[in-house]
Every structure is written in C-alpha cells, then in structure tokens.
Amino acid sequence: MKEILYVFVAIFLAELGDKTQLATIAFASKYGWAKAFVGAILGLALVNLIGAFIGDKIGETLPVELIHKGAGILFIIFGLLMFFGKI
C-alpha cells in the first residue's frame, strides 16, 4: 500500500500547475467542471495505463538503474527542447 501512496504523491506533485492542469482549467471554463474532470480523468488514466504497461515490460528486461538514467536523460532533453522553443 505504501508504494501506491508514493506513486500518488509523486504524480500529484508533478502534475500540479503543469500544462495538463492548465488545459483542464481552460476546458472547464468552456464545458463546465464535471465534463472537464471526467475527460481529464479518462485521458490521464489511458496515458498512465500505457505508461505503466510499457514500464512493466521494460522493467522485466532492463535494470532499474538504467531505466532511471534513461528517464532522466529524456527529461533533460525534453526540457531543453521546450526551453529553446522546439516543442
């Protein structure tokens, strides 16, 4: 159960104020909070299901340390691309 709490807290903090939350705010102003909430839940659930499935499969074949380093490198690359306006 503590693992679920760790994931919840990490995802909650990572998503606060990000573009997904800002998009949800914009949709809520147009379609109402309930429709925006349900749509956001379904979209996030699907994208996280895909991520969890891929992560599970990658975790079966690669060492966790390599996965962490790869994720960190991708995070930096995407951050730099966003910073320089390429994304």
Predicted local distance difference test score (pLDDT) of residue 58: 92
Contact 20, 39 (CB under 8 A): no
Tell me the whole-structure pTM to 2 decimals: 0.68
- Sites in the chain below the pLDDT cut of 50: none
pLDDT digits (tens, 9 = 90+) for 46-60: 999 999 999 999 999
pLDDT above 70 covers a percentage of the chain that reads: 100
Q: 28-41: string of b/e by CB count within 10 Å (b at 16+)?
A: beeeeeeebeeebe
